[in-house]
Amino acid sequence: MHCVRVLFYTRTMPGRSDPSFTESFNSEHRRRFYEGHRSLALLMILIVFLSPFAGLYVASLFGAVIGVLLSFAAYYLTPYLWFKFVG
C-alpha cells in the first residue's frame, strides 16, 4: 500500500487564506505580498512617488495633497484588492 501512495503522491496545496480588510493594514502581510509580487512592488513605488507630482501639476497644492493621500491608499489597499479580485 505504501508503494501505491509513493507512485501517486500529490503535493497538498496549503490553505490559502485571503486577508480581511483589517489584515491588509498589517505591515508583515504587506511586506510578504510585495516580496512575492516584485513587479507590482516596483509599480507601487512609481505610483507612490509620482502621484503627488502629478497632482501638483494638475491642481496645484490641493492636487499634491490628494496625490499623497491616494498614493498611500493605493499602497495599503493593493494587497487586499489583489486577493479580492485577482485571486
- What digits encode the pLDDT tens for the residues 16-75? 566 677 877 788 888 998 999 999 999 998 988 999 999 999 998 999 999 999 998 888
Please give the residue that has the higher pLDDT: either 7 or 45.
45
Q: What is the pLDDT of residue 84?
A: 85
CA dist 21 and 81 (Å) reads 9
Residue 71: other Cβ atoms inside 10 A: 20
Q: What is the pLDDT of residue 66?
A: 92
CA dist 55 and 10 (Å) reads 52
Q: Is the pLDDT of residue 87 over 80?
A: no
**DSSP 3-state of 37:** coil
Residue 46: other Cβ atoms inside 10 A: 10
